[in-house]
Amino acid sequence: MRYRTASIEDLDRLMKLYQAVANTEGGIARLEHEITPDYISGFLEKSLATGLFIVGENPDDENELVAEIHAYKAGIKVFDHVFGDLTIVVHPNFQGKKLGRTILTIFLEEVGRNRPDVGRVELIARESNQKAIALYQSMGFLIEGRLEMRIKSLDGHYEADIPMGWQNPNFEF
């Protein structure tokens, strides 16, 4: 697996990755038809401008992305030390192979080594995604509450989102 910083040229490959994940139950909080070029380019441009965006390429086809992680700054001065909206996506055919853990490790190490301006990384996990929550906790994220009835599933039931945060040990106050 080859991991690298994303570029604006990855837009179409990111669209394909997100569409594949959107077709997987519990994958991401968007349906396939909600994966649009505007949606992808929005977080791609924000992450490239103020955050960090890493992609993982298929070892058998470098033109296919099979994993990605991104987060970015909100653009508000009081939150300038925070990377928010952290998202990790792994292609369904590559899940269960520790790609999520690997790309998150690379991301956090990069923040720790090269982003002393970032003191905090935030994410929100669906409460039913206990596997992801356990992964985040094992990587140093702390559960910071519950957002009740935040997610409405396709079958009409509601569940909480779980906000989590990680603090950069090398943050320069």
Amino acid at 161: D
Instruction: Report the amino acid identity of residue 51.
Output: G
Q: Which of 80, 77, 82, 103 is nearest to 17 (CA)?
A: 103
Q: Tens of pLDDT along 121-170?
A: 999 999 999 999 999 999 999 999 999 999 998 889 999 999 999 999 99
Per-residue model confidence as pLDDT tens digits over 11-65 = 999 999 999 999 887 778 898 999 999 999 999 999 999 999 999 999 999 899 9
Give the amino acid at 77.
Answer: K
pLDDT band at 173 (very low <50, low <70, confident <90, very high): confident
pLDDT tier for residue 88 given thresholds of 50, 70 and 90: very high
Phi, psi of 154 (to 5 degrees): -65, -25
- The per-residue pLDDT of the chain, averaged, comes to 96
